[in-house]
């Protein structure tokens, strides 16, 4: 069978890009200096598209790809994919769930630990030779505290298991209660009021944009900490900065931001904020597994017209 033409719209790691180039005719849209020319030359031939979890795919780009059959997302989040449009055109959309769940949950726990126990400051303290001069600061005990999870999906559940093992209580919200041993709180304000740590683990996109707003942050309160490992768009970043500046929120641990890699200067300057560069799934093992799954979805489609992971909206 002749190799299909694939459009690559995000920078890909070599362990995914090289095998893709061996199996398909790949066209690097993300690095192309003249993108309109690339689309004019090859747009009508493109049958597959590979993008990152955070890549936004405009419908105008898809309009220029009339033969497109499948979008394979290298990531679990597909908030950048216009799913209604894909449904109308019958374009399959696949992602890389499950293989990254544990790593992302580990990062959420790390952010809880770092914000509560001050490990980032403690590390700086030792490196600066301060321990020779004075005692380190005291942190906050985690056992007995409550973690409120917004979005108890694959990652949310893995976070719940981990913090439960740390003797923390778990409460959660989502669009509906689930058959799980944790208390469901239908209202996000009430969840924030009940929680010491509010952990954001739901998908991004229009439905969840700024779900965590000034009101929710105020409900979380001056002893509360916000942890976000999902998408920056879910949190109103201006409201977050204001709450931290006014000390109506104790701390924040953030792996994701609204306009990555740009982070508000005010957040960069704060000592009670732990900032990570979107590294939830960034281990060699997991990124390899994500790459393998991203390619396997394309391979399965072009050989058998089926896929391994189809996102729920397109089921």
Give the active site residues.
Answer: 231, 260, 278
End-to-end CA distance of the chain: 28
Burial (Cβ within 10 Å: 0-12, 13-18, ≥19) of residue 298? buried
Beta carbon nearer to ligand DGY, 77 or 151: 77
**Choice between 52 and 118, CB closer to ligand DGY:** 52
Choose the one of ligand NDP, ligand DGY, none that binds residue 176, judging by a C-beta under 5 to 8 angstroms depending on kind: ligand NDP
Q: Does 53 bind ligand DGY (CB under 6 A)?
A: yes
Which is nearer to ligand NDP, 129 or 261 (by Cβ)? 261
Q: Which residue of 201, 235, 290, 298 would you call a contact of ligand NDP, by CB under 6 A?
A: 201
CA angle 189, 192, 194 (to 5 degrees): 110
Residue holding tokens 């990555």? Answer: 260
> What single DSSP character describes residue 2?
P
C-alpha–C-alpha distance, residues 113 and 140, integer Å: 9
- The residue within the footprint of ligand DGY, chosen from 15, 19, 42, 54 (CB under 6 A), is 54
Q: Which of 48, 148, 204, 253 binds ligand NDP (CB under 6 A)?
A: 204
User: Is the separation of the CB atoms in 252 and 274 below 8 Å?
Assistant: yes
Tell me the number of residues near ligand DGY by CB under 6 A.
9
Residue 43 interacts with ligand DGY (CB under 6 A)? no
**3-state per-residue secondary structure call for 252-277:** EEECCCCECCECCHHHHCCCCEEECC
Region from 25-33, 47-55, 56-64, 185-193 binding ligand DGY, contact rule CB under 6 A: 47-55
If binding is defined by CB under 6 A, does position 281 make contact with ligand NDP? yes
- How buried is residue 83: exposed, middle or buried, by Cβ count under 10 Å (0-12/13-18/19+)? middle
Residue 234 CB, nearest distance to ligand NDP (Å)? 9
**Cβ atoms 274, 254 nearer than 8 A:** yes
Which two three-digit tokens encode residue 41?
């030359």
**Which residue, 28 or 106, has its beta carbon nearer to ligand NDP?**
106
Residue 194: cis peptide before it, omega within 30 degrees of 0: no
Residue span 258-277 as binding mask against ligand NDP, x where in contact by CB under 6 A, dash where not: --------------------
Binding region for ligand NDP (CB under 6 A): 76-77, 97, 100, 104, 151-156, 174-176, 201-204, 207-208, 229-231, 255-256, 278, 280-281
Which residues would be at the binding site for ligand DGY (CB under 6 A)?
52-54, 75-77, 100, 280-281
């Amino acid at each position: 069978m002749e190799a299909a033409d694939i459009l690559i719209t995000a920078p890909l790691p070599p362990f995914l890009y090289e095998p893709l180039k061996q199996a398909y005719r790949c066209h690097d849209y993300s690095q192309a200096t003249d993108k309109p020319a690339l689309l004019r030359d090859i747009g009508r031939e493109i049958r597959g598209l590979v993008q990152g979890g955070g890549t936004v795919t405009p419908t105008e780009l898809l309009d220029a790809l009339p033969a497109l059959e499948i979008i394979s997302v290298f990531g679990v989040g597909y908030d950048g994919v216009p799913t209604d449009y894909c449904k109308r055109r019958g374009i399959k959309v696949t992602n890389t769930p499950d293989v990254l769940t544990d790593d992302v949950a580990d990062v959420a726990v790390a952010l809880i630990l770092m914000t509560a126990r001050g490990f980032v400051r403690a590390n700086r303290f030792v490196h600066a030779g301060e321990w020779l001069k004075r005692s380190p600061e005291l942190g906050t005990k985690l056992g007995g505290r409550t973690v409120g999870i917004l979005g108890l999906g694959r990652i949310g559940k893995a976070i719940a298991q981990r913090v439960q093992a740390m003797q923390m209580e778990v409460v959660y919200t989502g669009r509906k209660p689930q058959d799980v041993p944790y208390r469901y709180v239908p209202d996000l304000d009430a969840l924030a009021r009940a929680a010491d740590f509010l952990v954001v683990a739901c998908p991004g996109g229009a439905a969840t944009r700024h779900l965590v707003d000034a009101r929710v942050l105020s409900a979380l309160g001056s002893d509360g900490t916000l942890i976000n490992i999902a998408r920056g768009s879910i949190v109103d970043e201006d409201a977050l900065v204001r709450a931290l500046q006014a000390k109506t929120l104790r701390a924040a641990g953030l792996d994701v931001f609204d306009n990555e890699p740009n982070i508000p200067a005010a957040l960069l300057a704060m000592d009670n904020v732990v900032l990570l560069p979107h590294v939830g799934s960034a281990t060699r093992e997991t990124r390899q597994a994500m790459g393998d799954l991203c390619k396997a979805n394309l391979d399965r489609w072009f050989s058998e017209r089926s896929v391994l992971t189809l996102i729920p909206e397109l089921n």
